[in-house]
Amino acid sequence: MPAIDVRPARKGPLRLDPIPEILRPLIRAYLLGYASAVAPRLLTLVLQHVAKRKRKLANQLAPDLDDSSFVSSAAHIVRTGFNPQRFPTFCAILAGGTTLLKAS
């Protein structure tokens, strides 16, 4: 008789089924660490950009449509989140290391 999987099927935006089960906590911790480190910084950047545009429109100044600084700042925030000496890597090592030690 085949084994029945009693775990609920995960239907989220990110499926980790192709990843070996032993590495899933590591990947999940890295992604959560990345989201918690990068999302607030991006949100702050977007809110500052919107506030600056509103201020320029309220003062009847011509809004500069040069969004290159906004885009470059956003790209810098996204890139620095992948730096190996940042919080997401710490989360992955902490969670992944404990699960890998248990498996050994």
Q: Where are the domains of the chain?
A: 24-103
Q: According to the model, what pLDDT value does residue 11 have? A: 65
Predicted local distance difference test score (pLDDT) of residue 2: 60
Q: What is the pLDDT of residues 11-43, one digit of tens each?
A: 666 677 888 888 888 898 999 999 999 999 999
User: Which of helix, strand or coil describes residue 17?
Assistant: coil
Highest mean pLDDT among 23-32, 52-61, 69-78, 90-99: 69-78
Q: Is 24 exposed, middle or buried (0-12, 13-18, 19+ CB in 10 A)?
A: middle
What's the start-to-end Cα distance of the chain, in Å? 30
Structure tokens at 16: 């980790």
pTM over 0.85: no
